[in-house]
Amino acid sequence: MTPPLPFIAVSLTGFTSTLGQILMVRELLVIFYGNELSTGWIFAAWLVWTALGSGAGSRLADQFPPKPALLVIPLAGLALLLPASILLIRAGRLLWGVGPGEILPPLTMVAISFAATGPFCALSGFLFSFCWSVQARSTPTASPGRTLGVYLGEALGAAVSGVLFYFLLLPHFSALGCALGAAAAVLLCSAALFRKAGSGKRMAVGVWLVAIAAAAGGLFTLPEMETASRRWQWGPDVVAVRDTPYHNLAMVRDANLYTAFANGLWLFSAPDPRLAEMAVHPAMLEHPAPETVLLVGGGAAGLAREILKHPSVVRIDYVEPDPELVRMVRDHLPRQVHAALDDPRVRLFHQDPAAFIRAGGRRYDVMLLNVGDPMNAEMNRFYTVEFYEDVRRRLAPGGIFSFSVSSAPDMVGPAQARFLGSVDATLEAVFPTVLLLPGETARFLAGGEETVFVTDPGVLAERMGKRRLEPRHLREFHLQDLLDPFRRDYFQSVMSEAAKTAEGRRINRDFRPVCYFYSLTLWGAQLHTGFKDVFLAASGLGKGWVWAVAAALAAISIGLSLTLRPRRGFWVGSAVFLAGGTAIVCQMALLIGFQILAGYVYRQMALIISLFMAGLALGAALIPRLRKTGRPPGSLLVWVQAGLCLYGIGLTGILMGLHGWPGNLSAAALGVIFSLLSVLGGILAGGHFAMALESLAGERAAPASIGGGLYALDLGGSAVIAAVAALFLMPLYGPLSALRIVVFLLAGNAASLWIALNGRGG
């Protein structure tokens, strides 16, 4: 049986939209340095625009019945907007006057997110409603299941897009190349829409030919466009940009200084002997005779060379998860920076650092962590109790663990004090001996019971002389400054004062990212004191307040269902709104959970999203078949919503179980588990939408506006709840607590829905 024209069009729409979501989110994260707050704004902008487009399309469909031939016109526009949006995002810093590595103010992030996603997402939502209307009018006596094929087609197209990107496009093509190639492919496939087309065909063919010519021209000039757009993004001194499963890597040159960025965030600058010396020698000098050293990050930036200057060192295990970073350094930096990597004492491991340390094995005299501040979930997992416990097991007796975080050399404000206090409290929860060295960066040193830290700068200077070290930027007077007892007492006092606040000294955990929250507070303080005040005020709110608000909302909902009993459409619409939000929070929890457990999510994001969309298609196709049992659609809607609640609760348990799993689960095993979880969530979400549609339409044909209206509610709920979760619940209470709160609201709505529909033939 030949697929109907709306099914073809909406499948191509789903394919283009999902590929656009994957590519545009990755590109925007480069501008926004991968911070989860910015991720929340990106998804909120995406969902709001799509919901607005779908809502507008459903209204227009009732007033101006669309013609099948004209499906190709918005589809051609969507295909061309995909590469155009990529170019617009890369030009974002140029257009908004923001330099490479510069932190963007929140309002600028919001503005860029909405400006970059607006045209593409609004047209995507409009196309869904357009296709739904064409299908509904072409089957005037059909059941809602026929028009539901439009939802099924979009989900199938989206699933194909994500899987194709994960296995074929990402390993071999740039983001812009993917966008242009997909645009050309979608336009060629849309030729099928001309079949049996009636009026409007001539206009559609003209638009199609122009779009094909534009896509072909873009592919022909792809190398030039790639070079130009990277210069817009990074400036004229950009040396190389590479997309990897872990990061978007960029290398920029300024005279003889090379700077590397990962997902837009500063990674290192080289050659920078001062940074390398300060990162290595304080910890190495504290140990009387370090032989084995573990270096996590920074080896390619010159840290390995500084470690090898200590004559007692016999082995360095250097862990760098992204091999492309090392290749980029070897290709572009002067040899003296990375020559130490060829020393036989250095062993290079391309593994996730947390998994490498957790696996056990060799114990080290010194462990140096050089990964940057806990600005996002990826970095926060290196500053948690769970990670420190693994580190302590790998320290040799008397061993030293060292890292640094951003600080101020002299005066420390409340936000900085709470951040440093949280880092210090988390370390002290695991290590009995902790030493803080104040400075432009605060360097923490920690060890076990056998570790004794030297606080006399003269002793360290004597060791420096015996080892024949001649650092250019770490002299004896620098050691005196680092170990100044007055400065160290001052820092301890401000951290102790911060601990007297309502929340006290909070300990950082993988699924309760306190350091990440305080790091966001610092970020807000750099931009505007108002953001800092909001974050600090929010930190004083206990979880009990949030649960009280959630309970009040659930009680109000149940009370309304018992007394006022509004129309069926109100309850079904509210169920779709909350179910859409719950589904997106489940996806966010999956992405953050995978990042915590596996160490990266840049590539896996495509597979998790695409398999969720495949689940939507399966759920929309299979769950309505349960009506053969004789149950009315309203009753099935309540049961599916209850199933989605159980899925959310079960997901929190599974993530905690995987987190506490003895030993290491491979990235491949985690990928399979998370993919299956994503599919299951999609099945429940897709089945919920299908039963909501049938519950509204009954046995009659679904009006042309029902599908688009429900789709807009679904996306609107996803946008609102995703924004609240990403900007408030997750930073304060962690992803699992956020998921439990959202599921509680959905369960309350399910009870209200059951009461409202009970006795009405639901």
Pair 632, 696 in one domain: yes
Q: Which of 350-364, 436-450, 618-632 has the lowest mean pLDDT?
A: 618-632
| Burial track 487-496 (b if 16+ CB lie within 10 A, e otherwise) | bbeebeebbe
Question: Is residue 258 within 8 Å of 237, Cβ to Cβ?
Answer: no
Query: Which CATH number does the domain housing residue 452 bear?
Result: 3.40.50.150
Is residue 182 a contact partner of residue 15, using CB atoms and an 8 Å limit? Answer: yes
The Cα 628–Cα 291 span in angstroms is: 72
Please tell me whether residues 495 and 384 are part of one structural domain: yes
9-21 residue pLDDT tens = 888 888 888 888 8
Residues 518 and 568 placed together within one structural domain of the fold: no
Of residues 290 and 636, which shows the higher confidence score? 290
Q: Which domain holds residue 670?
A: 542-762
Would residue 555 count as lying in a domain?
yes
**242 inside domain:** no
Residues 216 and 299 in one domain: no
Both 486 and 565 in a single domain?
Answer: no
The pLDDT value given to residue 534 = 66
Sign of CA dihedral 66, 70, 72, 75: negative
DSSP letters spanning 487-515: HHHHHHHHHHHHTTSTT-SPPPBTTB-HH
* DSSP one-letter string for 394-457: HEEEEEEEEEEEE--SS---HHHHHHHHHHHHHHHTT-SEEEEE-SSEEEEEEE-TT------H
Q: Would you say residue 566 lies in a domain?
A: yes
Sheet with 257-262, side-by-side order of all strands: 238-243, 248-254, 257-262, 265-270
Please state which of the ranges 371-375, 538-542, 558-562 shows the lowest mean pLDDT: 538-542
- If you average pLDDT over residues 554-567, what whole number do you get? 79
The answer to whether residue 502 sits within a structural domain is: yes
More confident site: 608 or 140: 608
User: Does 532 fall in a domain?
Assistant: no
Residues 96, 60 share a domain: yes
Q: Are 573 and 430 in the same domain?
A: no
Q: What share of the chain is helix, strand, coil (3-state, %, to 5)?
A: 70, 10, 20
Asked if residue 503 and residue 571 are part of one domain, the reply reads no
Q: What is the CATH number of the domain that holds 150?
A: 1.20.1250
Please check whether residue 230 lies inside any domain of the structure: no
Q: Are 45 and 117 in contact (CB under 8 A)?
A: yes
pLDDT at 140 (0 to 100): 52
Q: Which of the listed residues 525, 557, 573 is the one where a domain comes to its end?
A: 525
* Lowest-confidence region among 32-46, 223-237, 480-494, 642-656: 32-46
Q: Could you tell me if residue 235 is inside a domain?
A: no
Instruction: Let me know whether 181 and 317 are in one domain.
Output: no
Residue 509 shares a structural domain with residue 572? no
- In this predicted structure, what is the pLDDT of residue 317? 94
Task: Identify the band that residue 314 occupies on the pLDDT scale cut at 50, 70 and 90.
Answer: very high
238 touches 250 (CB < 8 A): yes
Query: What total of structural domains would you count in the chain?
Result: 3
Q: Which residues of 335-366 are buried (b: 16+ CB within 10 A; e: fewer)?
A: eebbebbeeeebebeeebbbbbbbeeeeebbb
Please state the pTM of the whole predicted model.
Answer: 0.81
Q: What is the predicted pLDDT for the residue at 412?
A: 72
Domain boundary among 525, 553, 577: 525
Cα–Cα distance measured from residue 131 to residue 287, given in angstroms and rounded to the nearest whole number? 69
**CA–CA gap between residue 210 and residue 198 (Å, rounded):** 20
pLDDT in the model for residue 701: 43
Cβ 394 vs Cβ 363: under 8 Å: yes
Most confident of 154-168, 311-325, 518-532, 537-551: 311-325
Domain end marker among 497, 525, 553: 525
Assign residue 258 a region (left: φ > 0; alpha: ψ between -120 and 50; beta: otherwise): beta
**Token pair in block for residue 24:** 């545009």
pLDDT digits (tens, 9 = 90+) for 663-687: 667 777 888 888 899 989 989 988 8
- 20 and 90 in a single domain? The answer is yes
Strands of the sheet with 441-447, listed across from one edge: 346-349, 315-319, 292-296, 364-369, 395-406, 441-447, 433-437
CATH number, position 625 = 1.20.1250.20
303/424 same-domain check: yes
Structure confidence at residue 620 (pLDDT): 77
Report the alpha-carbon distance of residue 198 to residue 134 in Å, rounded.
Answer: 13
Query: How many C-beta atoms surround the C-beta of residue 87 within 10 A?
Result: 17
User: Is 257 inside any structural domain?
Assistant: no
Task: Give the N- to C-terminal CA distance of the chain in Å, as an integer.
Answer: 34
* Higher local confidence (pLDDT), 564 or 257: 257
Task: Grade residue 761 by pLDDT with cuts at 50, 70 and 90.
Answer: very low
pLDDT at 535: 64
